[in-house]
């Protein structure tokens, strides 16, 4: 390979399987030293006693790469600190943080209970914040000491976070929160040489295997559009020094297609210059909506999705 990330130190959370595993292997293939983090849980977050992170480390080492295992819980603030410290202890530095860990507990909103809401918000949203907080503290200290890094953060949102997804209110809310965290972190951490971006991937994983079960390789090309490995090249590029200047963005990735998501932005407006009366606003809102056009449908709302 090109050695795009040669000697860079990368932490990947949720790297024991699926997209996270693909990221870890792809970074190692480009010369990075990788901290493979995975606590080893089932699809719904329940304990399994498995050790998928160690298996990925073994794969990397068999291919001649360098990696270490972390089984820290990224939703635990102290555990997240230890995860970042693992990179510093073993490799002496940290250049890239890829936040990927997560699970689902899908329910229609009227059936969603408090524990299912809290668990998904915790693993996705807090599980992004906690490692990012400790990595940012390290990079700020390095910058103040005159050792600014070409540091990179890649967060993992979802189409559900951009457009919503029926039956996934908790997951959609968490993934939408990650996009908000991404743009704020990009604005705050740029002064320390840190870029922060997010991806919204579509790929076949434990969380999506039923959805994408029929999307296999095209017979004529052998290209499996839903393979998780398709997502990783962009993540590796975003984690490289070459991506300087790209920050605060969300990229959708599916198969061979990469696109930039268009975030919320100021749209059509009417300014009265004074307080509105409630009865005045019907035609005003109607006019604004007509000018703005229709929003994208929520996933699962349109039968074609």
**Residues labelled catalytic:** 158, 171, 175
CB-based burial of residue 5 (10 Å sphere; 0-12 exposed, 13-18 middle, 19+ buried)? Answer: buried
Long-range contacts of 56-64 (CB under 8 A, 24+ apart): 56/15, 56/16, 56/21, 56/24, 56/25, 59/25, 60/24, 60/25, 60/28, 60/34, 60/36, 63/25, 63/28, 63/29
At 207, list the tokens: 């969380």
* Separation of alpha carbons 9 and 31, rounded Å: 9
Dihedral sign (CA 10, 15, 16, 20)? negative
């Amino acid at each position: 390979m090109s050695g795009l990330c040669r000697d860079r130190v990368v932490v990947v959370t949720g790297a024991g399987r699926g997209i996270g595993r693909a990221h870890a292997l792809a970074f190692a293939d480009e010369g990075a030293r990788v901290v493979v983090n995975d606590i080893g849980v089932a699809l719904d977050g329940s304990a399994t006693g498995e050790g998928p992170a160690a298996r990925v480390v073994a794969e990397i080492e068999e291919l001649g790469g360098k990696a270490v295992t972390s089984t820290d819980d990224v939703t635990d603030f102290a555990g997240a600190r230890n995860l970042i410290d693992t990179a510093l202890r073993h490799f002496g530095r940290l250049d890239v943080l890829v936040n990927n860990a997560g699970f689902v507990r899908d329910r229609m909103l009227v059936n969603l209970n408090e524990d299912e809401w809290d668990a998904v918000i915790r693993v996705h949203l807090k599980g992004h914040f906690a490692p990012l907080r400790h990595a940012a503290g390290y990079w700020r200290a390095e910058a103040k000491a005159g050792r600014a890094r070409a540091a990179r953060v890649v967060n993992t949102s979802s189409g559900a976070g951009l457009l919503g997804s029926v039956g996934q209110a908790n997951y959609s809310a968490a993934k939408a929160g990650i996009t908000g965290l991404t743009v704020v972190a990009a604005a705050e951490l740029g002064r320390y040489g840190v870029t922060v971006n997010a991806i919204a991937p579509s790929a076949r994983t434990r969380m999506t295997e039923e959805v994408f079960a029929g999307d296999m390789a095209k017979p004529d090309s052998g290209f499996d559009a839903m393979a998780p490995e398709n997502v990783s090249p962009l993540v590796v590029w975003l984690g490289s020094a070459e991506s300087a200047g790209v920050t605060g963005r969300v990229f959708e990735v599916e198969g061979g297609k990469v696109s930039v998501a268009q975030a919320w932005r100021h749209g059509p407006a009417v300014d009265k210059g004074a307080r509105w009366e409630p009865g005045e606003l019907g035609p005003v809102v109607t006019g604004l909506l007509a000018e703005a056009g229709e929003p994208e449908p929520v996933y699962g709302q349109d039968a074609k999705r």
